Amino acid sequence: MRTLLLAGFVIALVGCGTARRGVPIMGPIAHSDAGMHGKILFMHNCNQCHPGGDAAVGPAINNKWIPDPVMKLQIRKGVLGSMPAFSDKELSDKDVDDVLVYLNELRKRKAK
């Protein structure tokens, strides 16, 4: 009986998620130059685990405000067992800043 209730709960949770992907309803996001560079870097390095900033292998990162210093630390040090660390040879400090500009632009768009 518990298994059946648990299965029903899981099915209900999955059914509550949105299937919408791609261009937001409000149209494409106009990115700054830094945001556009950050988007390119994000797509190359981050999108496979956080597609469009949403959850997949990794958690969603475009729907909650995380302070930039915390994000920089996670990018540089990784998250043990979950996320690889990116050295300054892979992403320069300016590259990391541009990725954060891109994510902040996504968050601002979602907040509207």
CA dist 69 and 21 (Å) reads 29
| Per-residue pLDDT tens over the stretch 53-96 | 889 998 888 887 889 999 999 999 998 888 999 999 999 999 99
Whether the CA torsion 97, 100, 104, 106 is positive or negative: it is: positive
> 102 pLDDT exceeds 90?
yes
Does the domain at 30-111 match CATH 1.10.760.10? Answer given as: yes
Contact 99, 75 (CB under 8 A): yes
> 38 pLDDT exceeds 70?
yes
Q: What are the residue boundaries of the structural domains of the chain, listed by start?
A: 30-111
